[in-house]
Amino acid sequence: MEQTFIILKPSTINRSLVGDVITRFQRKGLIIAGIKMMQLDEKILREHYAHLVDRPFFPTLVKSMMATPVIVMVLRGKDVVSVVRSMVGATNCRNAAPGTIRGDFGMSGQENIVHASDSNENAAIEVARFFRPEEIFDYTPVTLPSLYAPDER
Ligand code: IDP
Ligand code: MG
């Protein structure tokens, strides 16, 4: 099974939506392989958002991402990167479809509730950037036979 990397952004912490967002991932049947709270700094954000450093909104984005500690997560599941991206929805919450996390919980392009990896390759890079190996847990929930058929696991 694959892994993906999630950040519950300061907008989620400030708006007390942590439980609602995590509940969505759990109800879907995704396995929490790692979870912790941390304060991001400019160094890690320049790496994480390297594709955006030249954009005019980058300083505002960095400030926003450091406004409170964040909660970072590693989720595990079959095809989890694409499953989670479709659960999260379009980048701008105002364009995100109802039923998605951004579509249901936000009104902003920047303050958009969660980060989720966009490919298996980036997920591996992001997990390694934010977690030490011993912070990721490989366990089998007792519910696994109800989550997947044998040939899907
Ligand atoms: P994604 O989070 O949907 O993968 P990216 O293009 O990777 O979107 O952008 C990373 C983050 O940068 C977004 O989640 C959002 O917080 C912020 N962002 C992206 N585009 C804009 C913009 O045009 N204005 C302000 N913030 C933006
Ligand atoms: Mg992105």
pLDDT digits (tens, 9 = 90+) for 90-108: 999 999 999 999 999 999 9
What are the pLDDT digits (tens) for 49-80? 999 999 999 999 999 999 999 999 999 999 99
Which residue, 22, 3, 2, 4, is CA-closest to 12?
22
Residue 79: left (phi > 0), alpha (psi -120 to 50), or beta?
Answer: left
The verdict on the CB of residue 91 being under 6 Å from ligand 1 is: yes
Distance in Å, CA 135 to ligand 2 centroid: 23
Is the whole model's pTM more than 0.95, yes or no? yes
In angstroms, the CA 82 to CA 14 distance is 27
Burial class (CB in 10 A: 0-12, 13-18, 19+), 75: buried
Report the nearest-CA residue for atom 15 of ligand 1.
Answer: 110
In this prediction, residue 153 carries a pLDDT of: 87
What residues form DSSP beta bridges with 38? 70
Here the tokens at position 19 are 């439980």
Residue 85 has pLDDT above 90, yes or no: yes
Q: Residue 48 corresponds to which tokens in the numbers above? A: 């994480």
Alpha-carbon gap, residue 106 to 108, rounded angstroms: 6
